[in-house]
């Protein structure tokens, strides 16, 4: 099904989608961000400065502590090869535009690797694809110019079409748009040695999703960290 057909179907279903979106926001279980430190040093070996930026998934919503979240998992997996000095800058509800402004306010500092986990809130906020891609490019330039990033890992969008929280047809519509964003994100990174697109194409069963039916549970965070480590090791050795 092409994008033009998608647009027609979304227009036809707009009243239903609007009602469903309101109901989801009203009745969704609101989970807190993971507790615990948002920076640290772990491992031995070559120094690796790591910055993790993003939305609620990067902030660890769905687990109790950062040790069980993305930051904890990815810093530990990298610690087998590096002395990892890591910093987490993530916030529930963050879009690409919001993250850009937050990073502009940070003091300039150097990072070897930056992990970017953004896009879901841009999808749910109905940000047009071309505008989102423009904002992604601005974010990449900021990370390179202000923070000296040698490698930026662009984490793919999750399969929103499988999120238990979302009713149909809202789940179908958001799933289609997330897949479209993800496809263009992959294309934007192709051929650039400073960018690594990291797809979330591993299996995610419903029982691995957090109790809100929307965010990752600890097993998904662990697998996500594993594929990110593979991408980083492949580029940096």
pLDDT higher than 70, residue 188:
yes
Domain that holds residue 183: 3-236
Q: What CA–CA distance (Å, rounded) separates 106 from 192?
A: 26
Domains identified in the chain, total number: 1
* CATH, residue 28: 3.40.50.1110
Residue in this structure with the two tokens 């027609």, named with its chain if needed: 8
Return d(Cα 154, Cα 194) in angstroms, integer: 11
Q: Is 216 helix (H, G, I), strand (E, B) or coil?
A: strand
Residue range 68-95, pLDDT digits in tens: 999 999 999 999 999 999 999 999 999 9
Instruction: Please report where in the chains the tokens 């950062």 appear, as a residue.
Output: 66
Mind listing the pLDDT tens digit for each residue in 40-54?
999 999 999 999 999
The SS3 call for residue 73 is helix
Residues written for the chain: 237
Copy the structure tokens of residue 128: 């047009």
pTM, to two decimals? 0.90
**Mean pLDDT (whole number) for 95-101:** 98
Q: For 7-150, where are the E strands, in sequence order? A: 39-42, 46-54, 82-90, 113-117
Q: How confident is the model at residue 8 (pLDDT cuts 50, 70, 90)?
A: very low
Query: Please, how many CA atoms are within 13 Å of residue 47, restricted to the half-sphere of its CB?
Result: 5
Tell the residue number behind the tokens 């099904």, with chain if given. Answer: 1
pLDDT at 3 (0 to 100): 57
pLDDT band at 62; cut points 50, 70, 90: very high
């Amino acid at each position: 099904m092409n994008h033009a057909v998608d647009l027609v179907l979304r227009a036809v279903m707009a009243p239903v989608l609007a009602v469903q979106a309101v109901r989801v926001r009203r009745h969704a279980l609101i989970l807190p961000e993971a507790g615990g430190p948002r920076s640290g040093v772990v491992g031995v070996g070559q120094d690796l400065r790591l910055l993790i930026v993003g939305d609620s998934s990067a902030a660890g919503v769905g687990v109790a502590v950062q040790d069980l979240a993305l930051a904890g998992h990815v810093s530990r997996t990298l610690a087998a090869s590096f002395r990892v000095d890591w910093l987490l800058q993530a916030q529930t509800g963050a879009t690409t535009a919001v993250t850009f402004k937050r990073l502009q306010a940070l003091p300039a500092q150097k990072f070897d690797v930056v992990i970017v986990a953004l896009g879901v809130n841009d999808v749910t906020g109905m940000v047009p694809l071309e505008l989102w891609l423009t904002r992604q490019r601005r974010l990449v330039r900021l990370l390179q110019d202000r923070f000296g990033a040698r490698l930026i890992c662009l984490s793919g969008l999750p399969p929103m079409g499988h999120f238990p929280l979302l009713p149909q047809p809202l789940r179908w519509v958001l799933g289609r748009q997330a897949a479209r964003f993800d496809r263009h994100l992959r294309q934007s990174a192709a051929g650039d040695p400073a960018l690594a697109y990291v797809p979330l194409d591993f299996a995610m069963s419903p029982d691995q999703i957090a109790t809100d039916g929307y965010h990752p549970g600890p097993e998904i965070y662990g697998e996500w960290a594993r594929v990110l480590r593979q991408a980083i090791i492949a580029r940096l050795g």
